[in-house]
Homo-oligomer: A and B are copies of this chain.
Amino acid sequence: MPELRKDPIVGRWVIISVERGKRPTDFVSPSQRKKGGFCPFCPGNEYTTPPEIMAFRPSGSQPNSAGWTLRVMPNKFPALQIYGDLGKTGEGIFDKMNGVGAHEVIVETPDHNLSLSTMQQKTVEDVLWACHLRLDDLKKDQRFKYVLIFKNEGEVAGATLEHSHTQVIALPIVPALVKEEIDSARRHFEFKERCIFCDVINQELDDGKRVIYENARYVALAPFAPRAPFETWILPKRHESAFMPADKSFADLAEILQRILRQMDRILDTPPYNFVIHTSPFYDEVNEHYHWHIELMPKLTKIAGFEWGSGFYINPTPPEESAKFMREAKI
């Protein structure tokens, strides 16, 4: 059983995947990872993955067979285990609980060669719907407090399979960085009776120099204090605390997300990237202080190791410049 452990000093929870326990010799050089070859996410290979949780099958085909346009299944090598209770216990000064949670994979398209930036916009919409549906389903499980939706694109960004996919992790705790944002946003609200993200968005839209793009419902901007070059946030322009579209449509979000990815592909030569969706925890989904958003980070620099140990970031590219390059990208 994997374990969730809390650092007693900074209060950060980590997953220790005890059952995947790696020996020192397992850390092969990443460049030795094989490319090409058999892909478990391609149509016809459904038998090699755990049974699907849901799929979009416009052809009316059978579960776990070809004919799908999007497919969700449990991660074959999950970081967390779905069965069991939390078993919260102490070990002297330390706190831990069983690594209970869900770890799922959304295969975004049957086409091995497409990416979020090259697929049809409608397919991106489907991916966002799938994220929402999985989140909505997982919140029924009382053990979970949070669902983390994220994507690793490209080997350097941590993707272990080429075929375009998004990951979903349901957790019995709220991740540290999200919790910090929520706590801080709550303090701001108590003081000002306003959402701090709304304040930021208003100032940015008014100013304009860090705005990359906006459509009817969303804005993409380079944050004032980005941790790395070309870090980009996508936020709903009107206050929304949780990742569910007020108008029951993901069309505008798909449009802006894909546009940003295409601009990055264009000017940064199809970079590896990560994105995460930050949303309110299940126990407080509708609130006035927190504002859900996507944080997107191309992996361009290698300085993450030092930052990891200090929480201190050195960014060689001012966001005003990265926003300008992005705005001017011809896509």
Q: Identify the A interface with B (CB < 8 A).
A: 3, 5-18, 20-24, 27, 30, 79, 91-94, 148, 150, 152, 155-158, 171, 175-181, 184-185, 196-197, 199-200, 203, 207, 223-227, 229-230, 267-268, 271-276, 295, 297, 299-319, 321, 325
Known: A10-B180, A152-B305, A316-B17. A224 touches B276 (CB 8 A): no
17 A-B pairs with C-beta separation under 8 A:
A6-B225, A8-B225, A10-B180, A10-B181, A16-B319, A17-B314, A17-B316, A20-B316, A22-B316, A30-B302, A92-B207, A150-B309, A171-B312, A177-B311, A227-B308, A297-B305, A297-B309
Q: How many copies does the complex hold?
A: 2
Cβ contact within 8 Å between A185 and B225: no
Cβ contact within 8 Å between B150 and A315: no
6 residue pairs, one from A and one from B, having the closest CB atoms: A177-B311, A176-B311, A175-B312, A276-B309, A274-B305, A5-B225
Chain B nearest Cβ from A183, distance in angstroms? 9
Cβ contact within 8 Å between B14 and A310: no
Chain B residues with CB under 8 A of A18: 318
Cβ contact within 8 Å between A315 and B16: yes
**Contacting residue for A311 out of B150, B156, B178, B312, CB 8 A:** B178
Q: What residue in chain B is nearest A153 (Cβ atoms)?
A: B305
Cβ contact within 8 Å between B12 and A225: yes
**Contacting residue for A7 out of B9, B155, B225, CB 8 A:** B225
Told that A94-B203, A177-B311, A304-B308 touch, could you supply 13 new A-B pairs with CB distance under 8 A? A5-B224, A12-B225, A14-B226, A14-B312, A15-B313, A18-B318, A22-B317, A24-B268, A91-B224, A92-B207, A93-B199, A273-B305, A308-B308
**Residue with the highest number of chain B CB atoms closer than 10 Å, among A94, A196, A197, A307:** A307
Cβ contact within 8 Å between A318 and B224: no
Chain B residues with CB under 8 A of A10: 177, 180-181, 184
Chain B nearest Cβ from A268, distance in angstroms? 5
Cβ contact within 8 Å between B268 and A27: yes
Q: What residue in chain B is nearest A169 (Cβ atoms)?
A: B312
Known: A225-B7, A310-B150. A315 touches B17 (CB 8 A): yes
